[in-house]
Structure 1
């Protein structure tokens, strides 16, 4: 069954950010709030109440005074105040996606942590959040989970993207839809029904595909035929890509259709 990911409703609250003192013997809450901006942290250790489903907790600071976070289910976002070593987040909005057990308890865990105004401290690439009996150590995502190279990595398709939605399906999960680009620009992979080969010019954030040669096996399953048509339409001409850790989003030349991949 197709699952459509919930659309995030952002709460636009402007909050002033105060920097905290630094120093080798500073208490919890040390580190400058300015050093959080533009960074994403991923949990590496949880002391106290464990994250239902295992998480991880991912916390982003996209701009001053704003936070986005997920513990493995829905995504919370909104304005925050980091003054006095305390993370105050009174007006966070969230997506409304249903998650299977045990990850369905992750939202409650995250809400409890953030609504309790946890203490925060930053030491280089390590962010620590302490709220009640729970302490979470998080590491800069670029350090804990560095971006995979676009070439030399086998990418497995996990979602298809259209103007209307980002979708996954049982057919896609079982189809083993893959993409591989070598350092020399050779392309190979599978649409789920057929294998393909070809070439691509690799640029800074772009892949320009040449004509792909495919096998000619008929897709008996209509869902697989639809996936194949979408994949081949995206892997045509100039595309753009964004890599974030183990995830890659490839967007077609129309700027709308795309494929979400995960490094295998």
Structure 2
């Protein structure tokens, strides 16, 4: 299923920019410390006072190259960003348009409502606090909140499939929970959706070459469809990159997986 884009009008967001060091007239006056700069950083919510994020979130905000990317567990929103009066003004905001199961169906509405409320902000090192009349969201720099998990030895659970055209999430993926574990010596084990799989991953991280075999059971068609997509991603050369608790595998054949640490 292709991820379409839907555009929204300009949205006023929270304002968080680099805090400039005040000049005291001394030649050795320090510049802004890196931990007071938003750009190039990702923040994750660690707590919400008020209406909780449907599905549990977390809220994720990434600032890079004068753009902001946001999601609360379902679709990804992004747009250009500029600072105005301690708020962030986002324009040309667009969103992926994927169906999300369970409580996550309400995550996009929660996110857009919060962003449209022009929340105030306070940045204290790695801690970011966003607040409007009804909600207070505590966020933490992702490097502090979620250090990278080790690629090898971690059990990874598939949350999305990647094709050359789209990122696909579905209730079937959530239900069958395909898993992948790569041992320190390169042995591969896990479940492809229906069948158990084993094999090897050779090479130097993050560039690996997969060889995987499975048992031969048959399951429901929608489960077998997920399994075939998993096996395509684990066939031959692929790049396996860890970002906090997320592993992204992109195969040279154009297929891939998004996985989260168990």
Please give the TM-score of this superposition, normalised by the length of structure 1: 0.77
In structure 2, do the counterparts of structure 1 residues 85 and 97 end up closer, same or farther at CA, with 3 Å as the change threshold?
same
Q: Does 1:136 align with 2:134?
A: no
How is 1:1-264 mapped onto 2 (pairs within 5 angstroms)? 4=1, 6-8=3-5, 19-22=18-21, 35-63=37-65, 65-89=66-90, 91-99=92-100, 102-209=103-210, 211-215=211-215, 217-254=216-253, 256-264=254-262
In structure 2, do the counterparts of structure 1 residues 224 and 87 end up closer, same or farther at CA, with 3 Å as the change threshold?
closer
Question: Which secondary structure state, in structure 2, belongs to the residue aligned with residue 229 of structure 1?
Answer: helix
The CA RMSD measured in Å over matched residues stands at 3.2
Distance 1:91 1:234 in 2: 33
Offset, 1:261: 1.9
**Could you say which residue in structure 1 is the equivalent of 2:13?**
none
Distance 2:140 2:213 in 1: 43
Question: Which secondary structure state, in structure 2, belongs to the residue aligned with residue 192 of structure 1?
Answer: coil
Distance 2:197 2:107 in 1: 40
In structure 2, do the counterparts of structure 1 residues 123 and 91 end up closer, same or farther at CA, with 3 Å as the change threshold?
same
Distance 1:150 1:260 in 2: 13
Offset, 1:239: 0.7
Per-residue deviation, residues 183-209 of structure 1 (Å, max 9, x unmatched): 111222222343333222242321222
Distance 1:100 1:176 in 2: 14
Distance 1:229 1:38 in 2: 36
Distance 1:242 1:47 in 2: 34
Question: Which secondary structure state, in structure 2, belongs to the residue aligned with residue 148 of structure 1?
Answer: coil
Please give the TM-score of this superposition, normalised by the length of structure 2: 0.77
Offset, 1:96: 3.3
Per-residue deviation, residues 149-208 of structure 1 (Å, max 9, x unmatched): 110011222332223333244544444422111111122222234333322224232122
Offset, 1:86: 2.4
Distance 1:178 1:96 in 2: 26
**Larger strand percent:** 2
In structure 2, do the counterparts of structure 1 residues 89 and 162 end up closer, same or farther at CA, with 3 Å as the change threshold?
closer
Offset, 1:133: 4.0
Aligned length: 247
Per-residue deviation, residues 36-78 of structure 1 (Å, max 9, x unmatched): 1121101112234443444322111022x21111233333221
Distance 1:230 1:104 in 2: 24
